[in-house]
Every structure is written in structure tokens, then in C-alpha cells.
Amino acid sequence: MNNNGASEKRTLDEKIPLPEGTVPVGIGLLVAGVASYAFFKVGQQALGQENFKPIVALWFATFALAPGFFMPIEQEVGRALAHRRALGQGGLPVVRKIIPLTIGLAAIVSALVLAGSPWLTKDFFEGHWLVTAALILAFVGYAPAHLARGICSGTGKFVDYGIVMGMDGATRIAGCIALWLIGVKVIGAYAMVVALAPLLGVAIVYFRGALSTEDGEPASWSEITPNLGWLLGGSIMAAALVNAGPIGMNILADSSESELVTKFGNGVLLARVPLFLFQAIQAALLPRLARLAAHGDLTEFRVAFRHLTYAVIAIGVIGVGGSAIAGPPILKAVYQSDLDRRTLTLLALGSALYMMALATAQAVIALHGHKWVALGWTVGMTSFVLTTWLSSNDLFLRIEIASVVSSTLALCVFATALRSRIAAGDAPDVESMMEAMSDRPLEG
């Protein structure tokens, strides 16, 4: 390489706030994913499938609320800090500006949950008030977790980002195993493990100094929140949609069907295996995608997205085929749950379509189409509710059909928007790519 080429490469690398080393993010996601399956296994071993139902309800409610409301905070903090880092400016004013907003958001949603706590406790959590308290604590606990992840991604500390992700899952399963081994049968104790799990990872990276940022020029709201409203709307609907099946089951099932709700939750987790793997693989591709965005080359972006689409389709086909062929015996062996082939196949198909919708939505965000992403997820969630209501009287089938229909309609909106953005000549940049690749509504 000649001197000019070497100089150009160094200049490009200096502009990119996403260094090599994002593999730890993928590792953190995998640890969190594996821990989720282990938690469900050990928790049901300790409490039994019927008594585990309130924990299933807590699990999916937590991961509908927390990523929905706090993922946009993570995205915008990461984007703003990355921009300042590229300019050689300190990011402390950004952090100071966003903390009151995060606290306010956590307070408002917690107050709404508290106001609805009589209904939640009685009808959603089987009368266990400690589980309702755990939901509020979990929601509040994920506020600093997402803020910490935003700081780590924006300052290029991806090992610490992976620590926050991985320790969340590791703490959860370690606490669950400890309770099981000492013979604890109190449902509220397992609920508190879910609630407090995100805090240890935050504490570790804090004491590692990963959350410290240098002082700099004052931050304005326009610097931090240009896309926050659209991101918030889309994130709430996306997180609600990916968790809507188990939540809907919990609402629709009567008191004699507690075990069915737990079994359905197990089936949803099994159907999500490809989606967890997709997110982990995608996280490891961050550096390459960031370099692509730095060039602002729309042609190369289209090629990269086409390759990603092929990968998503392949993962989805394997997931659906695997669920259809081996899903029932695997579910029986792992969780001692009986779900028929139709249920597992349709759940896997809904998960595969959601995965395709998520990948397409990320591409739309990268091309600055934030409002279209908010619209698409809203269409998806609305169609889920309507399809569940109108499609069937069968408890399982109505939700299975809704999961397929809702993700399909969301995908159609995103595909239309992506075609429109590309036709208009919109090109990605590093900041929009950061927002896109950190758009992961699936947690847990």
C-alpha cells in the first residue's frame, strides 16, 4: 500500500467509533441467551410448571417494558457519544443531559405500573404481590443497564458492553440455581432474581472505570434526541410484539390453565433460538458495517444487506424446519413440555418472520427512515391484537396465527420503506448505522 493509501486508511479508522473487538458483544448476547433457557429449566425444576407461571408472566412483561422504553436511550447515547468521540470532544455533558430524562421515563412508567398493580397482582401474577414489585424493580434496574450499554458502545468499550449483557444472564441463572439448591419454593424469591440481575454487570463496569467520560462542550437536546421520539415509538411496539404471544396467553388463559402458559413460554423460547443466534452474529459484524457506513456507499450497502438477507433466510429456514421435525422431542427432553408440531412450527415461522422484519427495520434506520420503523412495528402490534381477537377461539392457534400475520405485515412496511429510501438515494453513515445495529428489542 502506498503512503497515500495508508494515510487514507488511518484517517478512516480514526473516524470510526466502532473498533474491532465487538465480538465480546456477541459473546455477551450468547451468554444472556443460554442463561435464559437455563433459567426456565431450573426454575421449573424448583417450582413446577404450574407455580412457574407468574415467573413466565414476569419474564415476558419485563422484556416487553425495559427494552421498549430504554433501548432508544441506549441508541441515542451511543450515537451522540460516538459522534463526539469522532470529533475529539468529551461526552460527559451528553451523559449528564440524558440521566434526568432516563430517570423521568423510569418514574412515569413505574408509576403507571404501580397504579395498575391491583389488577396485575390479582389477574396477571396469580395474586403474588412480590412478583408485581419485582416487575417495577426490574424495569427500574434496566434503566442504568441500558444507559451503561449506551456509554460503552459510544466510547468504543465493547468488552464492557459484553460484560453488562453477559453478567445480566449469568447473575440470573446463578441466583436461580442457588435458590433451587437450598430448597427455596417462594415464587417471589425467583422473581427478585429476575429483577436484580441487571445491576451486577453495571456495577462491574462502573468500578472498571468504563462509564467515565471526559468533559466537553455543553450538550443540547437537539444533539441527543433528534430521533428519540420515533425510536421510542418503534422500540415500544417492537418489544411488545416479540413478547406479545406469552403475554397474550397469560391474559387469555383461565386459572386452570397455568401449566399451559408455562408450556407455551417454553415453546416460544425454543422458537427464538435462531433469533438469539442472529443477534449475536450480527453484533460481531459491527466493525465491518461501520466501515461500510463511513464510506457512505449505497451500492456496497445494498450488497451487504442482500448477503444479510440470505443469512437470515437460511437461519429462518433451519429454525422452522428444525422445529417442525425435532421441536416436540427437544421440548419434551429439555422442559418436559408437550406442545404439538403445529404450534412449534408456527411459533418458529413467526420468529423467523420477526427476524427478517428486524433486519429490514435496521436497514431502514441506517438509511434514516426512523418514522417508517415506528409505523411498521405499530402496524405489526395492532395486527397482532386484531388477529388474536378475530382469528380463532382456540387458545393456542389464535396466538400462533397472530404471530405470523403481525410479523409479515411489519416486514411488508419495512420492505416498502427500504425500497423507497434506496430509490431516493439515501446513504448510511456511521451514526445511523450505530442506531440501527443497536436496535435489538429481544432481551433476556
Q: What is the pTM of this model?
A: 0.89
pLDDT of residue 9: 42
Contacts with 84 (C-beta within 8 Å, 6 or more apart), sequence order:
90, 91, 94, 154, 216
Which of these, 395, 266, 406, 401, lies nearest to 323 by C-alpha position? 266
- What is the SS3 string spanning the chain? CCHHHHHHHHHHHHHCCCCCCCHHHHHHHHHHHHHHHHHHHHHHHHHCCCCCHHHHHHHHHHHHHHHHHHHHHHHHHHHHHHHHHHHCCCCHHHHHHHHHHHHHHHHHHHHHHHHCHHHHHHHHCCCCHHHHHHHHHHHHHHHHHHHHHHHHHHCCCHHHHHHHHHHHHHHHHHHHHHHHHCCCCCHHHHHHHHHHHHHHHHHHHHHCCCCCCCCCCCCCHHHHCCCHHHHHHHHHHHHHHHCHHHHHHHHHCCHHHHHHHHHHHHHHHHHCHHHHHHHHHHHHCHHHHHHHHHHCCHHHHHHHHHHHHHHHHHHHHHHHHHHHHHHHHHHHHHHCCCCCHHHHHHHHHHHHHHHHHHHHHHHHHHCCCHHHHHHHHHHHHHHHHHHHHHCCCCHHHHHHHHHHHHHHHHHHHHHHHHHHHHHCCCCCCHHHHHHHHCCCCCCC
- Name which of 272, 270, 198, 277 is nearest 242 in CA terms: 272
pLDDT in tens, the chain (444 residues): 444 444 444 444 444 444 445 577 778 888 888 899 999 999 999 999 999 999 999 999 999 999 999 999 998 998 899 889 888 999 999 999 999 999 999 999 999 999 999 999 999 999 999 999 999 999 999 999 999 999 998 888 888 998 999 999 999 999 999 999 999 999 999 999 999 999 999 999 999 999 999 999 999 998 888 889 999 999 999 999 999 999 999 999 888 888 999 999 999 999 988 887 777 666 656 555 656 665 666 777 787 788 888 888 999 999 999 999 999 999 999 998 889 999 999 999 999 999 999 989 988 998 889 999 999 999 999 999 999 999 988 989 999 999 999 999 999 999 999 999 988 888 777 777 777 777 777 776
Q: What is the pLDDT of residue 268?
A: 93
In which residue are the cell numbers 395474586 written? 127
Give the per-residue pLDDT at 254.
86
Alpha helices in 182-272 (DSSP H): 187-207, 221-224, 228-242, 244-252, 258-271
